[in-house]
Each structure stands twice: as C-alpha cells, then as structure tokens.
Structure 1
Amino acid sequence: MTGGGPRLSRRSILFGSLTALAATGTASAWALDRFVIEHAEVTGVSQLEASSAPSTGTAFADPQIAITTWTSGQGDDLVTGYIADVTTAEASQIRAAFAEDTFGENIIEEPSVIADRVGATLAINGDYYGFRSEGIVIRNGIAFRDKGARDGLALHSDGRLEVYDETATNAQALLNDGVWQTWSFGPALIVDGQVQDGVDEVEVDTNVGNHSIQGEQPRTGIAMIEPNHYLLVVVDGRSEGYSRGVSMTEFAQLFADLGAQVAYNLDGGGSSTMVYHGDLVNDPLGKGKERGTSDIIWTTGS
C-alpha cells in the first residue's frame, strides 16, 4: 500500500478478514486458526538452548560490526538501505531468537523487543517461520521443524553459508553435518558468487498474504563474503520520496556488488527491520515503527 493513508500489518489484515469470514464455514474457521491464532509448540527456548549448549571453555573475540547507509537513484527512484558488515570469530556468534522465547505458529513480537531480551547489539528480522507450517527450522544448533519444502539456507559451524535443497535432506542429517542455523524463505540470490537467474519470478509459497514476493519491495537478506564474514542488509520501500524498494534482481545485484559469494532473501515488506544498540536503524514502510515478526537474527559485538 502506498500514499498517505494508514497501513495495516499483515497480521491485522488477516485477523480482520478471516474473523469476518469465520462464520461462513469450516474453511474460514480453519484459516483463522492457522494464520492468526497463536500455537505454542516449545516454550522457554532459551533454557532449552542453555541446557543443550556444549561447554568449550574457549573465549572468542567479539564480532566486529560496521553499519553503512546505501542509496541509489534520486527523486521517485530513490532507494535507501542499510548494510551491516559483520565479522565473527566463529559461526555460533550468529544467533537466532524466537518471539516470546517460544517456537510455534503465529507468535510475534517486535524485533527490538526480542533483541533487548537476548542482549543483542545488532538484529534483523528472520524468515517469519511462524507464518508457515513447513520448512526445516534449526536454530542455535537445535532442530524445531523438519518439513522440507524449498531452497533453504544453512549456516555451518565452520562459518560457511550454503544454499541447499530442503527436500533432499532432513534436520538430523544437517545437524550431523554441523549446521548451526537454517532459514527457510528465499529465493537464493547468489550461489558460488553468481547471481541466480529468475529470482524475480519466484513465489515463496501459497500462504495467504505471502504468495508472491515480486516487484519493488522492502527487503531483508543475509550473505557471506567468506566464512565468518557476513552481510546483513535491509532495504526500505513503499515510502514515496524516501525509498521505493527494490526488485529481487536489484537486491541480488546489491549483494554481488558487495562481494557476496552466497546471498539469500529473508522475509521482507513491513517486517524488514534492523536494530542496533536498541535503536531502529531503518524506517519500515516510512512509519518509523516496527511490525511484529516471529524471529530475529542477532549478534553482539562492537
């Protein structure tokens, strides 16, 4: 939605429309239950992580973080984005966190609130795993969902980011291979240093409100320049005179220009958010406030 009128979140739109339709039949009631009502599957995730984490006794240097503002074009063609260049000592310093410290469907919280709870220096929104019921979800070395559906992204313990076919493997095999995180959204933008063909034609899935990601949109993505050297990027959009957003091809080219060897698209639109030292870096949809999402990617550092 563009212009000066109020903009409603995806959750608000879904709740209003599905509630109005719920009385019309079983299918509508199912949709309300599936896409709006919270379903907690694992609570107290941070405690689970603490009890599962191996004790290495090794102290690592803090990640190094540098944030720059990127712009392209001018006037109605102006695009504004924010690039966090992150260098870690080891892959486990790239962490993930769930809204309400809970894994499940339709559980959301503003990224800055999640970031504050876990003590993040830098955070971006993740893949909004809670809006779908499939995809492989491994976070901080723990498997939460094992339903392969699309091309996912894996962060290995040696610091590599790798695009992989979820349908050709499973969560346990990934854990056995040393995978620390997975994200399930897409598409893959860059593989082996090459921008992928057809990224502007990809449909993530057929969920209500998330069928298509084409066009000029706000974007969030993560990339690797080399193992343990990452880019976390947010591009604003749908904001006249400030940032029109970018196509998927433009987003891929931005990563290519930055030297990315692997790059992957995460949830975008009004969810695209970057938080640094507790402050909102970008301006989601030109409203100056965040929208709730189901997860973040975060790190500490300086």
Structure 2
Amino acid sequence: MGTAIIEHFRNYSWLKRMLLIIAAITFICSSFLFLTPPGESIRVYLAKTVITTQHRDWAWIFVGAERRDQLVAEMQNLTEVNSVEKQDLQAVKYNKNRPIESLVKVEDISGQFWKGKKMYVYDPRSIRVVVPAKQGEGERITSMVQRTGAVAGVNGGGFNDPDGLGNGFAPIGAIMSGGEILYTDQDGTVPQHIVGFTKDGTLIIGKYTINELLKLNVTDAVSFYPRVIANGKPLITSGDGGWGRAPRTAVGQKADGTVIFIVIDGRQTHSVGATLKEVQDIFLADGVINAGFLDGGASSEMVYNNDLITSPSSRYGERRLPSAFLVFDHPDQVKVENVWAGLTTIDPGGAYDHPDYLREQAELKAKAGKATPTPKPTATPKPTEKPEASTDTESGKNGASNSPSSGVNNGGSGSAKPSPSVKPEATPSAPANSPNPGNNTQQGNSNNSSNNGQPGSGTTSGGAPGASTGPKTSATPETSASPSGQAQSGGASTGAAGTGAGATSSQSPAQPSKTN
C-alpha cells in the first residue's frame, strides 16, 4: 500500500508535487503553532515583537485581536509600574580620585542573536542633550557631533514618525538642555517618562513632572522608557521583558558615577536584535544601579570620533532625530538653541516630503518608463511597378503571336504565356497595408512604504492645535511612541523656559521615536 502511494506520488508533475509538499509543511507548522504549548509561546513572542514596531496592529495574525490588545495592556501596565519608584539620589558616590585615561571608552559586545557597542563615559557631567540646528527638520547624529565638536553621541528621545518617514522634528514628551526646557507636550504637573541627568551628573530615570525635574536640578533630559534597573534592583525578574527582539539604545549608571550607553543593531542579518532582559543583564554585570531605554528601532545608533560605528536598521541610513545625548570635552561651553521656540504647530512630515523616499519613487518611476519600449514603425512596402503593354506587332515569331492582349513572347517554346492585363489609363492603387503606429502610453509605478507603535493610547492637548501625524510614532525601537505609552495629540505647551508643540502619535512600548 505504501509503495503504491509513493509510486503514485512520483507520477505527479513537479508542480503538483511541490504544491503537495508546501501544503503538508503548512499543515504541520500550523498544527504545531496553534495546537501545542511551545507553539503558543512562539506566537506570543512574535506578537510582542510586532507590537513594539510601527505595525502593532499586525500582531493579531499570531494571537488574534483580543489577545493582542491584552498583551498591549500588559506591557503598558508593566512600564507604568516600573516607573513609579523614586531614585535614591545619594546612591551614586563619585570617585573623583580615580585616574581617567580618556573621557570615553568604546567596546564591542555581542550575544547569540545580536551585535552592538558599549560606551563608558567616566564623567557624567560631560553629557549634554543636543537638538537640531534649524526649525522644521530633525538632524542626524553624525551632523550634530561634527557641528558641535562632540566626542561621541547616541540617539535620544522619541518623536512622531508618520509611516516611518517623519522629519524628526516632532518630539514626544519633554526635552531639556542646559537647565532650560526646550520642549514639552505636557503641563508641568503631569508626570512623564524621563531619562536625564542632574547638574551633578546623576542619572534620573522614571516618571517625573517638569516641576519635580526642576526641583531635582535636572539639566538635560528626554522622554522614553522602559526602566529596567531601579536603585540596584532588576525590574525584569521573569521572561524576557515582553518586547521581543529589536534594535536597542539604553543608558545606565554605576555607583561610582560612570555612565554606560549601549546600542545594539537589529533587524539585519548580522544582528536580529536584543531583548530587554538581555540588555538589563549586560548592565547588571557591569554593576549598574539605575538603567532604562532610549528610543530604539531604526533610530538606534552610536557615533564616536565623527564616525557612525553602529549599523542603523533604517533603509535610508541615519535618521533625522529631534534629540541626542552627546559627550563633550568642555560641556560648559556648549550652547543649545531652542528651535521650537515660538512655534504653535509642528509638522511631523511623512512620505509626502521625505527627501530619500521621494528620490526613491522618482527613480522607480524612471525605471518603469524605460522598461516600456516604443514600438518601431513597420516599413511601408513599395507599390508594385506598373507593367508596360507589349508593342510588338510581329506575328509568327517563334511560332507565337504577340499582341497587347495576348501577352509577351517567351521565345523558344512555341507557346506564349499571358501577360498581366493592364489598362493603360488605369493608375495602380497604393497598398492598403500602411502601418498605423498608434500611441505608446508609459506609466510608472509608485511604491508605498509602511524604523513602531507602542502600547497605550490616550489624548493630551496643549494650548495650540497639534500637528497632524501619520500612523507611526516612536516609542518602540522603531516607532515614535509617547514615552508615557500614550498617543498624544495637541498643541504647544509652555514649560518653565521653553515652548513645545505636541504632535499626534500612536506608539507601542518599544520606542517613542520614530521605529524599518
């Protein structure tokens, strides 16, 4: 019986055999994923990974819409719970007598599924928040470093990022630099997810109001989450943190004041990305007592000595960003201008004005046009020549009689072949097979593209109408997400020393910016 089945299978065409094999593999994989406990764990893991990208809604494919929403709520709740505990500001004891050979040190790090960089900054007071140099557009970190003369830098807080093609100029949350509030989309009494430094260099991570930050002498800060180490305690005690694998940017501080920045590549063949717990464990191994994440996904990058030393996952290379943490030899000499001052609305940009995207579409359209050749017209055949009537009146020559009506003399055969009858007065008509080329219509193709939403939704409105934004925001490794885990819309709100305009954003817990 089995032999007969095998023989029958061999008689199938190659296409039919291939389709049967694909159907069998699909059935086996589906049964494993949906009917076994290990398969369910894999589906949940994949769903969490998708949730922390710009395409959070697609997580239903793995677990269904109801379970997806439940996972989003769980991730958001965990983020909020971990942000509540206030830091012990006396826990950091600066070792001022320690000899420092250099301001920073950069090391390669790697895990089973990822590669990245770890940067030690020995004097936390050398770290400043820097923002773009002109209104209306974010700035690449390499540009910020070169423009300001910084030693190194990493990406900072989240931003509104429609379709992953935003201009990087619509921040989410708060931005402070040099003790001034450059931007905030919340009232001074509303807690926000904060990553910042006090005047003395102590790293602050958690939910704080603007008023609290000013009382704590915080000088430089951005908004993002989640927090993973608080006062020496790891906050992820089971599982992998719930956000899947993705590009990551994180910051932590040791008890002696040393700051550690970690940037891990992701969504690439050489590096898939890291989980939250893997990054937490790296910090714990270094003795970090407070740590949290900055924007990740396509925004994750590190620059050192004017070189981009990590590999961003964005298809257009470095992204334009609203903020960055830069390291300076002389931070007291750095002056950061408030490019959001006086603005009441902020355009986050999108596919309609993204220079690289528009260039790409133009190239595709040009290629599509060249791919449709213009047909060459068919040559017009020459009309048949008009035969001349025979004028030979001689008879009996070669045994044939030639006359205008009888034909021409073929000679030697004794018989004459009739020649075509031609009417002298008739004009031969032109052939009716002249080509008609018609019109060749060429049409280009346009591609629509979809670096991350973050769990949580809500609405916050400031004093002025907010900017219209698209589906993406960065709060996950590649999404502009609200560091508070909320989608924010609204207008300008004024902090103690600056004005910020809110922007609509939908985010998932992976990264407020942006987040492929």
TM (norm. structure 1) is 0.65
C-alpha distance in structure 2 between counterparts of 1:172 and 1:63, whole Å: 35
Distance 1:127-1:232 versus aligned 2 partners, 3 A rule: same
Residues 206, 227 of structure 2: 8 Å contact kept? no
How much does 1:288 deviate? 9.2
Distance 1:164-1:286 versus aligned 2 partners, 3 A rule: closer
Distance 1:119-1:251 versus aligned 2 partners, 3 A rule: same
Partner of residue 109 from structure 1, selected from 110, 125, 139 = 139
How much does 1:177 deviate? 2.4
Q: Which residue of 1 aligns with 2:3?
A: none
Q: Which residue of 1 aligns with 2:263?
A: 234
| Aligned residue pair count | 220
How much does 1:149 deviate? 4.9
Asked if 1:179 corresponds to 2:218, the answer is yes
Partner of residue 144 from structure 1, selected from 174, 182, 192 = 182
- String of CA shifts for 1:43-68, please: whole Å, max 9, x gaps: xxxxxxxxxxxxxxxxxx99611000
Residues 158, 172 of structure 2: 8 Å contact kept? no
C-alpha distance in structure 1 between counterparts of 2:102 and 2:134, whole Å: 24
C-alpha distance in structure 1 between counterparts of 2:139 and 2:131, whole Å: 9
Asked if 1:219 corresponds to 2:248, the answer is yes
Residues 222, 230 of structure 1: 8 Å contact kept? yes
Q: Which runs of 4+ in 1 moved over 4 A?
A: 129-134
Q: Equivalences for 1:56-67 in 2 at 5 Å?
A: 64-67=103-106
Q: Give, as a single letter, the amino acid of the residue that structure 2 aligns with 1:110.
A: R
C-alpha distance in structure 2 between counterparts of 1:266 and 1:257, whole Å: 20
Residues 229, 289 of structure 2: 8 Å contact kept? yes
Q: Which residue of 2 aligns with 1:94?
A: 127
C-alpha distance in structure 2 between counterparts of 1:291 and 1:145, whole Å: 20
Residues 157, 171 of structure 2: 8 Å contact kept? no
C-alpha distance in structure 2 between counterparts of 1:195 and 1:230, whole Å: 17
RMSD over equivalenced CA pairs, Å: 2.9
C-alpha distance in structure 1 between counterparts of 2:202 and 2:291, whole Å: 12
Q: Percent identity?
A: 24
How much does 1:123 deviate? 0.6
Asked if 1:192 corresponds to 2:225, the answer is no
Instruction: Say which one has the larger Rg.
Output: 2
Asked if 1:253 corresponds to 2:281, the answer is yes
Residues 299, 314 of structure 2: 8 Å contact kept? no
Say which SS state the counterpart of residue 252 (structure 1) adopts. helix
Distance 1:175-1:69 versus aligned 2 partners, 3 A rule: same
Residues 248, 293 of structure 2: 8 Å contact kept? yes
Asked if 1:271 corresponds to 2:299, the answer is yes
Partner of residue 110 from structure 2, selected from 58, 71, 84 = 71
- String of CA shifts for 1:101-130, please: whole Å, max 9, x gaps: 55xxx7312110111111111011111346
C-alpha distance in structure 1 between counterparts of 2:254 and 2:281, whole Å: 14
C-alpha distance in structure 1 between counterparts of 2:127 and 2:101, whole Å: 11
Q: Equivalences for 1:8-27 in 2 at 5 Å?
A: none
How much does 1:164 deviate? 3.1
C-alpha distance in structure 1 between counterparts of 2:143 and 2:271, whole Å: 25
C-alpha distance in structure 2 between counterparts of 1:156 and 1:179, whole Å: 4
In structure 1, runs of 5+ residues without a counterpart are 1-9, 14-60, 202-213
C-alpha distance in structure 2 between counterparts of 1:140 and 1:129, whole Å: 21
Residues 105, 121 of structure 2: 8 Å contact kept? yes
Q: Which residue of 2 aligns with 1:40?
A: none
Q: Which residue of 2 aligns with 1:57?
A: none
